[in-house]
Structure 1
Amino acid sequence: MTFKASMDALTADAKRWDDTAAMLQTAGGKCADMTLRAQDFSFLGGDTHEAYEAVREFMKGFLLDGERAASGAGNALIKVRNTYEGSDETAKQNLKEAWEWH
């Protein structure tokens, strides 16, 4: 795999992670908005409402944790790409300087 292909692959993978993070953030926001009142459960009562809220809060946290993790993965891939890219440029410059007459 060429250097350019490797850089393109890192960029594409980072975008996939960023897209996943955005989807999880949207889902977490929708989950946060799905609150219900105890009255909405009619005859089922407060216990059902409490159970619903516990599950909803868990799912909201789970989705938002996933968003943070996916975003972190995308950011890490970009840092790796930038590090390799910087290393490549430094190596090119060092090679150029080694062959130049002073």
Structure 2
Amino acid sequence: MTFKTSMEALTNDAKRWDDTAAMLQTAGAKCADLTLRAQDFSFMGGDTHEAYEAVREFMRSYLLDGERAAAGAGNALIKVRNTYEGSDEAAKQRLKEAWEWH
């Protein structure tokens, strides 16, 4: 795999993680909007409403945790790419300086 191909792969993988984070953020926001009132469960009682809210809040939190993790993975891949890219540029500069010095 060439250096250019490796950089493209890191960029593409980071974008996939960023896209996943965006999807999870959207799902988490939609989950947050799925609140119901206690009277919506009047035929089943307040315990059902409490259970529903506990599950809804768990899912919202779970999705947002997933968003943060996916965004972190994307950011980490970009940092790796930038580090490699910076190392490559620094190596090129050192080589150029070595040739110019002689």
Aligned-residue CA RMSD in angstroms? 0.8
The answer to whether 1:51 aligns with 2:48 is no
Unaligned runs of 5+ in 1: none
- List, as ranges, runs of 4+ consecutive aligned residues in structure 1 with deviation greater than 2 Å: none
Report the Cα offset of residue 101 of structure 1.
3.5
Find the counterpart in structure 1 of residue 33 from structure 2. 33
Alpha-carbon offset, residue 42 of structure 1 = 2.5
| Aligned equivalent of 1:23 | 23
TM-score by length of 2: 0.97
Q: C-alpha distance in 2, partners of 1:59/1:84?
A: 37
**Partner SS state of residue 60, structure 1:** helix
The corresponding residue for 2:94 is: 94
Matching residue's letter, 2:28: G
Aligned position for 1:85? 85
Q: How many equivalent pairs are there?
A: 102
Partner of 2:65: 65
Partner residue of 2:14? Answer: 14
Overall identity of the aligned pairs, in %: 88
TM-score (norm 1): 0.97
Alpha-carbon separation, structure 1, partners of 2:56 and 2:36:
10
Post-superposition offset of 1:6: 0.1
Q: Supply the distance in 1 between the matched residues of 2:15 and 2:69 (Cα, whole angstroms).
A: 14
Give the deviation of 1:43 after TM superposition.
1.2
Q: Determine the C-alpha separation between the residues in 1 that align with 2:80 and 2:59.
A: 31
User: What is the distance in 2 between the residues matched to 1:73 and 1:57?
Assistant: 24
The letter of the residue matching 2:58 is F
